[in-house]
Amino acid sequence: MVIPTLLVMAVVVGYPIVYTLLLSVQDYNLLDFSPAENIGLENYARLFNDPIFWTSLYNTFIYSFGSVAISATLGLILALLCENLHGQHFRLTRSLLLMPWAVPFVVVAFLFRYMYMQNGGVINALLLGMGVISEPVPWLNSATLAMPAVMAANIWAMTPFFFLLLSAALSAIPNEVIEAARVDRARTWSMVAHIKLPFLRNPLLISSLLMLISTFNDFAKIWAMTQGGPGYSTSTLVIYVYRLAFETFEFGYASALGVIWLLLLLVFAVAYLRALRMG
């Protein structure tokens, strides 16, 4: 019964991984019109001496951990604020808060891209109208502002996921525990810190690891908004792999980077599986 599934996994997952490992030790560029040459670990040595790789790795961690940390915090705050809503008000509020999660990622990217436009963008128009800024801000054309701008779009799209999951986790807390805390006259902050947060720890950990894996692979939003620019200020590992493979056609070097990318993802996957067992 398991053999058909294993065969499909071997073809769909196993073969690309093995082929990538083989390419990572070869000098293979489609523009050279020459057969691939085995060069051992030279691609990996070049990789660790490549400043763009380290910039992309740094950007990946900033983008992933920053987006997940802020989204989880906002989702937790919204879930706690909406905990006591009931009936029509709760359904309406939940529907509005979940709308960003239902929007396709590419649509989110283009929506924020138009909002960030230097001339005609709604964000600059609002800030200029309020007198906060004196001239339009080049959000996506600034090396220092591009990454926070892209992260804001990702946070907007990701927060509803945490809100939905943590709202469900809050509703699963036994009423007896809440009533006992109220009898002991626990204040709001004490109840949140000492009762609710311990119950939310495992769901929050599991959801954060799951979204870290998803954000680590995020390509659509960054590419649609900045294509990794300006320069390499928003280039993550997935963007750099794409550029190497499909712009300069350095498949050997891109495969070596892909292997490092895969190893990092495996670390998150192992942590996720352990968190599931603990939960």
| Residue range 97-128, pLDDT digits in tens | 888 888 888 899 999 999 999 888 899 999 99
| Strand ranges in 40-107 using DSSP code E only, listed in sequence order | none
Give the pLDDT confidence of 132-168 residue by residue, as tens digits.
Answer: 888 999 999 999 999 999 999 999 999 999 998 998 8
**188 within 8 A of 240, measured Cβ to Cβ:** no
**DSSP 8-state symbol, 141:** G
- pLDDT value, residue 125: 93
Name the fold adopted by 61-226.
Answer: MetI-like fold (1.10.3720)
Q: Which token pair is 261?
A: 């990318």
What does the pLDDT average to over 209-235? 92
Q: Which token pair is 106?
A: 């590419």
- pLDDT value, residue 222: 94
pTM of the model: 0.90
Count the residues in the chain: 279
Please check the confidence at residue 170 and state whether its pLDDT lies above 70.
yes
Residues 6+ positions from 169 with CB-CB distance below 8 Å: 79, 199, 200, 203, 204
Q: Which segments of the chain belong to CATH 1.10.3720.10? A: 61-226
- pLDDT value, residue 29: 87
Instruction: Give the chain's radius of gyration (CA, Å).
Output: 23
- pLDDT value, residue 279: 59
Q: What is the chain's mean pLDDT, rounded?
A: 88
